[in-house]
Chains A and B, each alone.
Chain A
Amino acid sequence: MRIFLTFWVFFTLAFADSAFARTVYVIANPSIQVSKLTQDELEKIYLLRQPYWPDGRAIVPVNREASSDLREFFSNLVLKQSMRSLSNYWDQMHFRGKSPPVVQGSNESVIAFVRKIPGAIGYVEELANLDGVKVMAELP
Chain B
Amino acid sequence: MHQVGEICELGLFYGRISAKTRPILLTQMHSNSRSMSKLLKVVRIGILCAMSAGPLHAAHAQSDDYILGQGLNAGSFNIAGYATVEAHAKKGQDAGLLIDDLSLFVKGSVNRVINPFLEVEMAEADLWFEGSPPLKNIDPRVDIERLYNDFILDDHVTFRVGKILSPVGEWNSIHAGPLVWTTTRPLTSYRNYPEFVTGVSAIAEGLGAQELRVETYWQPGSDLDGPDPSNVAYLFHNTYGLHAELPLGLTDKIGLSLQGADVKGTREKQFLVGLNGRFTLDRLEIETEMTWTALKHPLVVRKHKTEYAGYVQGAFAISDKLYLIGRGEFFRDRNFDRTSRNFLIGLNYRPKAPISWKLEYVEQSGPNLGISSGPIASFNILF
Contacts from A to B (Cβ < 8 Å)? 47, 49-52, 55-58, 60, 81, 84-92, 94-100, 102-105, 113, 116-119
With A89-B251, A94-B69, A95-B179: A52-B2 Cβ-Cβ less than 8 Å = yes
Are B3 and A55 in contact (CB-based, < 8 A)?
A: yes
Nearest Cβ on chain B to A7's Cβ, whole angstroms: 33
Are A60 and B6 in contact (CB-based, < 8 A)?
A: yes
Report the interface size class on chain B.
Answer: 35 or more
Closest B residue, CB atoms, query A120: B60
- Majority DSSP secondary structure for residues of B touching A: loop
B233 interface hit (Cβ, 8 Å): no
Nearest Cβ on chain B to A58's Cβ, whole angstroms: 4
Closest A residue, CB atoms, query B59: A118
Write out the residue numbers on chain B whose beta carbons fall within 8 Å of the beta carbon of A92. 174, 179, 251
Closest B residue, CB atoms, query A101: B70
Are A102 and B3 in contact (CB-based, < 8 A)?
A: no
With A58-B4, A60-B60: A97-B382 Cβ-Cβ less than 8 Å = no
Write out the residue numbers on chain B whose beta carbons fall within 8 Å of the beta carbon of A119. 4, 6, 59-60
Closest A residue, CB atoms, query B280: A85
B63 interface hit (Cβ, 8 Å): yes
Listed A/B pairs (9) with beta-carbon separation below 8 Å: A57-B2, A60-B6, A87-B352, A87-B353, A91-B69, A94-B382, A97-B11, A118-B4, A119-B59
B289 interface hit (Cβ, 8 Å): no
When chains A and B are docked, how far (Å) is the Cα of A99 from the Cα of B78?
8
Write out the residue numbers on chain A whose beta carbons fall within 8 Å of the beta carbon of B9. 97, 99
When chains A and B are docked, how far (Å) is the Cα of A56 from the Cα of B2?
4
Nearest Cβ on chain A to B114's Cβ, whole angstroms: 14
Are A91 and B61 in contact (CB-based, < 8 A)?
A: no
Closest B residue, CB atoms, query A90: B70
Write out the residue numbers on chain A whose beta carbons fall within 8 Å of the beta carbon of B4. 56-58, 118-119
Nearest Cβ on chain B to A48's Cβ, whole angstroms: 10
